[in-house]
Amino acid sequence: MHINNSVIVKILLIVILFWGLLLRLYGVIDNHSFWSDEALSASFARDIVLNQTQIIKGATTISYQPLHVLTMALFMKILGTSEFSARLPYVIFGAVGIILAYLLAEKLSGRAGGLLAAFLIAFSQLNLANSTQAKPTAATQTLVLLMCYLLIRLQDSTSDKKIIFHFFIILTLIGSALYHFLGGIAVILYFSYLLFSQKNVRTGFFLLMIAFLGFIIYLNAGVSTGIFNNTMYLKNLLLKQYGIFLIPMLLSMFFLFKKRKTFVISVLTYSFAILFWWNFQSYSHNLRYIAPYMALLFVFAGTGFAQLGNLILKRKSWIVLLAVFIFFFISGYKLVLRPQAYYNPNLDFYGDVQIADYKTFYTKLKAKYSDLNSVVVFNDVLDAQRWYLNKEPDTYFSKGIKKPLTHRLTGKKIYGSLKDFLVLKEKNKKGFLIVEDWESILPEDIKQYAKKNLKLQLRVESLPNAKNDPWPLELYSWGL
């Protein structure tokens, strides 16, 4: 598209950036409850800030996201230990992603494509949810966009400057992997570029084989991989829900192939790698794991719309740009344009995040029972309790445990049967059992026993900002 007035473009970009940042800030200022994954990593960041653990130990306790813990610790050191402090860095990462989306798309299809890409990234419901959680999702997404931008600059640079871009690409790749081990999948993006930019095919093939070998070793070192099949979810996501973005993305790659062959093939190879892992080796279909791909989907959708407009109307292609803006503005499809106190991550797939109101639950528990040292607390997981109660579970109960195991972080025992629960209950005359009243990790027979035989002390239905997505919590007691 031909948009020659750079002043107008800058004004529009500033408006998009400002409003996108405002939406993200509005989604974290109320300090609403962490969900489990947020709470656990934040608790180790808090330990670092309060000098309750050494920096290296605190950062590596959750070995697959050390830079995430350190980033939260830095912000907590400056702003205090709160949900807001832990989430703020990812608000910033999300806002930086808007700028990078513009810069990348502008390089590929001009200013119009840049504005469309920035618009989609800024107001995507999925991106807003990821940018307002104390999770490294927004960081890995933004760093992949940065890698893509640097690859474009590398392709266009003179030979004497290429080494500089290689250095920053490798640095970005390392940062992505340290924020979350899945961020390391971006190695495929870089090595694919090296392969297809090589005149010597043997050298390129050798580099790609090293990348794939490292990729396999890396994944198996990070998690216990298996064979799964999330094809149903993938088809639902890409065709039914986000097909309106996938089609222009593919068109964009078709249009760009002649001029940007190496880059396009690299992005396609990376997309295949991350979607393949999510589809066949991820135990769950959590969308946060493929957030970097979703960012590329929005960016290339923006460039695709722009290129299509330029092909159809040429110098009057701004009409297509305006039409796309108006469509998404009015329909709000997959976008959020008004500030909300909470951006529900479950709108695409139910149960992507278990958004229980742990904060209210544990606050009420502490207000009701101040002397928790005199009673045992049984729970299924450590996460939220460690942040909100400042008391780790005395014993864990988890599905699928046939013989007692030792929790790798706390050293406490993990049991899996109602029989074990009854024996431990008899040994401890007073105690609490925390029940996540959904299909959680707690064995179902223990949950049903509690409902029939123990005293219900407390029930919290849902996060106040997400009442239509309830994840109830219950507190049961005996001997009290």
Q: How far apart are CA 128 and CA 19, in angstroms?
A: 12
Q: Are 141 and 175 in contact (CB under 8 A)?
A: no
In three-state secondary structure terms, 461 is coil
Q: How far apart are CA 351 and CA 326, in angstroms?
A: 32
Q: pLDDT tens digits, residue range 315-359?
A: 676 787 888 889 998 999 999 999 999 999 999 988 889 999 999
pLDDT of 471 above 60: yes
Q: Please, are residues 445 and 418 in contact by the beta-carbon 8 Å criterion?
A: yes
3-state secondary structure of 351: coil
Q: Is the pLDDT of residue 32 over 90?
A: yes
Supply the pLDDT for residue 204: 58
Predicted local confidence at residue 76, as pLDDT: 98
pTM above 0.85, yes or no: yes
The percent of residues in the chain predicted with pLDDT above 70, rounded, is 92
pLDDT tier for residue 216 given thresholds of 50, 70 and 90: low
pLDDT tens digits, 376-410: 999 999 999 999 998 899 999 999 999 999 999 99
List the Cα angle 370/371/373 in 5-degree steps. 140
pLDDT (mean) for 112-122: 95
What's the gap between Cα 61 and its chain centre? Answer: 19
pLDDT digits (tens, 9 = 90+) for 362-384: 999 999 898 888 899 999 999 99
- Write down the pLDDT at residue 195: 82
Query: In the chain, what are the domain boundaries?
Result: 5-31+82-331, 358-478
406's enclosing H/E stretch is strand 405-406
CA atoms of 383 and 361, how far apart (whole Å): 14
C-alpha 196: how far from chain center: 30
Confidence grade of residue 222 (pLDDT, cut at 50, 70, 90): very low
CB burial string 54-91: b at 16+ within 10 A, e below: eeeebbebbebbbbbbbbbbebbeeeebebbbbbbbbb
Start-end of H helices in 55-186: 55-60, 66-79, 83-109, 111-123, 125-130, 137-156, 162-179
Give me the pLDDT at residue 282, please: 80
